[in-house]
């Protein structure tokens, strides 16, 4: 019996099949933003049906790249792709593929993936941040995603870093996501984040804002480890060494909170492994 894992993002989506803990099939495709929800659903069905003669799916875990109302198992909206407003994606999977499904936002799911299988294994509590097109965060305490009272915990991307800063897609000004995400770096500086971060002088300024966001996380949570995933985290030590140094400078003097910030170990697969871990929480008859 196999688990189907789905990771829906703004620029690409990935699906995988797990046999126990082992990934036995994987497929990634570019997201057609103009295609909206209907296009994505067709793609998911086509990939899953293509696997059905080789694998018998028992359950499905989903990481969605946008706000999710976990208690109702509905997508709240997608800021990158249209048509998802209030859509019950797991119920759709259950109807089309006849397997139980569970969904959370991709940062929460990525956090669980790194906590169970990746760079956060054995670290409790764990904070995970995805640093790519957008910025998301997830908290794992005692091996489970901490969602807060209304399932909206961990949203580090919309902490205000620069009150006098520019307007974010959420409507507020100077959010961490507005200052540090790949989408805005490229729009503000006319070059992709990968190129910008090759310049140590740029990195020195960039980590000041990034550290302001992570400082809030360290002061509030005192995590055993912070794991950062997403495309920008692939800059490696050229980013992480100055970031740790800047955090040490910013964290309040008397705080002995550890500053342990590392890149994700599962690379592009944090969310897929997290979807596997999340799906295992579904009680089976
Ligand atoms: Zn915002």
Domains belonging to the chain, first-starting first, are: 2-106+269-279 (3.30.420.40), 119-265 (3.30.420.40)
Tens digits of residue pLDDT in 28-48 = 999 888 888 999 999 999 999
Which residues are within 8 A (CB) of 253 and not within 5 positions of it... i.e. 6 or more apart? Answer: none
Tens digits of residue pLDDT in 205-250 = 999 999 999 999 999 999 999 999 999 999 999 999 999 999 999 9
Which residues are within 8 A (CB) of 3 and not within 5 positions of it... i.e. 6 or more apart? Answer: 17, 18, 57, 58, 59, 60, 61, 275, 276, 279, 280
pLDDT confidence tier of residue 80, bands split at 50, 70 and 90: low
Cα dihedral 21/237/31/73 (nearest 10): 50
Q: Is the pLDDT of residue 53 over 90?
A: yes
Tens digits of residue pLDDT in 90-109 = 999 999 999 999 999 999 99
| Cα of 26 from ligand 1 centre, angstroms | 32
pLDDT confidence tier of residue 77, bands split at 50, 70 and 90: confident
| Cα of 169 from ligand 1 centre, angstroms | 6
Tens digits of residue pLDDT in 240-260 = 999 999 999 999 999 999 999
Pick the range with the lowest mean pLDDT from 7-11, 55-59, 171-175. Answer: 7-11
| Cα of 29 from ligand 1 centre, angstroms | 27
Residues, CB-to-ion distance under 5 Å, ligand 1: 158, 168, 170, 172, 175
| Cα of 19 from ligand 1 centre, angstroms | 38
| Cα of 111 from ligand 1 centre, angstroms | 20
Quote the CA–CA distance of 66 and 54 in Å, as a whole number.
Answer: 31
| Cα of 182 from ligand 1 centre, angstroms | 14
């Amino acid at each position: 019996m196999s688990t189907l894992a789905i990771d829906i993002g703004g620029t690409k989506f990935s699906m995988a099949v797990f046999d126990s803990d082992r990934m036995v099939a994987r497929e990634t495709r570019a997201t057609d933003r103009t295609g909206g929800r209907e296009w994505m659903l067709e793609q998911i069905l086509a990939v899953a049906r293509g696997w059905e003669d080789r694998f018998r799916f028992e359950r499905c875990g989903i990481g969605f790249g946008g706000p999710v109302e976990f208690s109702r198992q509905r997508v709240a909206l997608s800021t990158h792709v249209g048509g998802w407003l209030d859509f019950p994606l797991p119920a759709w999977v259950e109807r089309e593929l006849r397997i139980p499904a569970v969904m959370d936002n991709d940062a929460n799911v990525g956090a669980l993936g790194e906590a169970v299988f990746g760079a956060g294994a054995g670290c409790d509590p764990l904070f995970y941040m995805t640093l790519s097109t957008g910025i998301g965060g997830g908290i794992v305490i005692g091996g489970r995603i901490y969602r807060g009272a209304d399932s909206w915990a961990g949203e580090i991307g919309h902490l205000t870093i620069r009150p006098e800063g520019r307007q974010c897609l959420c409507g507020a000004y100077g959010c961490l996501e507005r200052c540090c995400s790949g989408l805005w770096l490229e729009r503000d500086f006319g070059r992709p984040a990968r190129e910008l971060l090759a310049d140590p002088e740029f990195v020195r300024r960039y980590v000041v804002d990034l550290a302001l966001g992570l400082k809030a996380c360290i002061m509030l949570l005192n995590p055993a480890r912070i794991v950062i995933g997403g495309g920008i985290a692939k800059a490696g030590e050229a980013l992480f060494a100055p970031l740790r140094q800047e955090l040490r400078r910013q964290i309040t003097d008397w705080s002995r909170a550890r500053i342990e910030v590392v890149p994700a170990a599962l690379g592009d697969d944090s969310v897929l492994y997290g979807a596997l871990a999340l799906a295992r929480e579904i009680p089976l008859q």
